Amino acid sequence: YTLKNKRGTSVKITNIGATITSITTPDKNGNIEEIVLGFDDPMSYLSEEYKNNCVYLGAVAGRFANRIAGGQFSLNGKNYKLAQNNGANHLHGGPEGFHFKLWNAKIEADTLVLTLLSPDNDEGYPGNLEVKVSYRLNDDNELIIDYKASTDKATPVNLTNHSYFNLSGKKGNILNHELMIMADHYTPAIDAIPTGEILSVENTPFDFKTFHKIGERMHLLPEKTYDHNMVLNHKEGELSRAAIAKENSSGRILEVFTTLPGMQFYAGYFLDGTHGRGNRKFESLEGFCFETQYFPDSPNKPHFPSCIVSPDKPFNHTTVFKFSTKN
C-alpha cells in the first residue's frame, strides 16, 4: 500500500505488522530519498532470519510496546504471566506480538485502515482486543497515525510505531542529527526497566530542551547510548509537539506530535547488520526511533499514567510525523 501527496512524499505500508516499510521525501534540493530503515520485499519481515533477530523495523508494537518487568503484572487482583522475550522481561507484546501479525487492510478515502483482533490470552494478556491503526498522509506533509483499541475485559495497551529514521537519506550513522525534545523529565531505568522515579533532565544528557546532536553527550550515559522514556510536557490526550529532529546536510526536518504522555528516544544501538533495503546492512546507530507511548512497565507502576483499557475506556491516541526542509 502506498500513500502519496503533492509534496513529493511517499509512504509504503504492509499489512504484516501494520509496518511502515518506506518513507521517501525530498531534501532541500528536491532530491527524493529514503528516510526510514526497511526491507524491499515485505516477505522479509516474516523471514526466519528476521524473526530470530527482530529489530521491529517500522512495525506497530503491541499489545504493550516497550518492556514489562519480569513478564508479569497484576490487574484487578489477578496475576498475569506474559512471554519473556527480552531476558526476563516482556518486550513489545512478546515474540508473536502485533509486529508479526497479518492485519486486515482496507482503503477508506485517503486513509489506510488496518485492523486486528487480539484474542483473550494472546501472549498472556486478558481480554479480546479489537485494534485499529489508520495511516493518512496529507498535503501539509503530515503522516497521521490514529490508534484505537477496544476490549471486553480490562487489559494494558500501549501501541507505538517503531520506525527508524535517518534523515540524511544516505548510509551512515545518525550521531549528527540535532534533536529537541519537549520533555523536562525522564524516567531513569536499570537494564531498561524504569526505577519508578521521574527525574529532571537538567544537567543530564537527556536535556534536549534546546537542540543537541545525538552523539554530543551519548558517551556520558552509563549505557553509552539512548534508549529511554522521555516524560512529555503536555497533558495526556492533547495533540502537542513532542520532538523535532533536523539533519543539516539534507535540510530535512522531522516533527513529532502526539496525545500520548511519553516517548522512547532510541538511538538504534542494537541494530547489528540486518540485511535491509538494497541488501544494505543496517549497522548500530544508523537510525533513531521516536516511539510515542505510555511509560515502560506502567502496568507495574501505579503512579505512572494508566495504560489500562477497559470496556468503558478504550485506547484512542494519535501520533503525527511531519516532514519539512530548511536551507
Beta strand 178-181 pairing with 212-213 = antiparallel
Catalytic residue among 123, 255, 286, 291: 291
pLDDT for res 245: 99
Work out the pLDDT band at 6, boundaries 50, 70, 90. very high
- Cα separation, 159 vs 175, whole angstroms: 27
* Mean pLDDT to the nearest integer, 29-46: 97
pLDDT of 122 higher than 90: yes
User: What structural domains and CATH numbers belong to the chain?
Assistant: 2-325 (2.70.98.10)
Q: How confident is the model at residue 184, as a pLDDT? A: 99
> Which of 122, 163, 192 has the alpha carbon at shortest distance from 254?
163
What DSSP letter does each residue of 236-287 carry, written as one string? TTS-EEEEEEEETTTTEEEEEEESSSEEEEE--TT---EE-GGG-EE-TTS-
pLDDT band of residue 170 (cuts 50, 70, 90) is: very high
For residues 203-221, give the mean pLDDT.
98
List the one residue out of 74, 148, 162 whose CA is nearest residue 118: 148
DSSP per-residue codes, 275-306: E-GGG-EE-TTS-BEEEEESPTTGGG-TTSPP
Confidence category of residue 321, pLDDT binned at 50, 70, 90: very high
Assigned C-alpha cell, 132: 485499529
Size (the chain), residues: 327
Task: Kindly report the pTM of this predicted structure.
Answer: 0.98
Mean pLDDT value of segment 6-31: 99
Mean pLDDT of 305-316: 99
Residue 279 has pLDDT above 90, yes or no: no
Q: How confident is the model at residue 164 (pLDDT cuts 50, 70, 90)?
A: very high
pLDDT band for 314, please (50, 70, 90 cuts). Answer: very high
Nearest to 194 by CA among 292, 262, 265, 296: 296
**Residue 183 pLDDT:** 99
Whether 291 sits among the annotated catalytic residues: the reply is yes
- Residues whose CB is less than 8 angstroms from the CB of residue 311 and which lie 6 or more positions away in sequence, other chains included: 150, 151, 152, 153, 154
Whether 185 sits among the annotated catalytic residues: the reply is no
Tens-digit pLDDT profile for residues 222-264: 999 999 999 999 999 999 999 999 999 999 999 999 999 999 9
**In this predicted structure, which of 114-118, 224-228, 278-282 has the lowest mean pLDDT?**
278-282
Is the pLDDT at 303 greater than 90, yes or no? yes
Query: Quick one: average pLDDT of 43-59?
Result: 95
Q: In whole angstroms, how large is the CA radius of gyration of the chain? A: 18
Residue 327 in this model has a pLDDT that exceeds 90: no
Asked if residues 263 and 322 have their Cβ atoms less than 8 Å apart, the reply is no
Q: Is pLDDT at 192 greater than 90 in this prediction?
A: yes
> Stretch 204-218: mean pLDDT, rounded?
99
Instruction: With cut-offs at 50, 70 and 90, classify the pLDDT of residue 178.
Output: very high
Query: Tell me: the pLDDT tens digits for 54-82?
Result: 999 999 999 999 999 999 999 999 999 99
Checking if the pLDDT of 177 tops 90, the result is: yes
Cis upstream peptide for 252 (omega within 30°): no
**The predicted structure's pLDDT at residue 265:** 99
**Cβ atoms within 10 Å of 8's Cβ, excluding its own:** 14
Catalytic residue among 90, 92, 99, 162: 162
Distance of alpha carbon 175 from alpha carbon 217, whole angstroms: 10
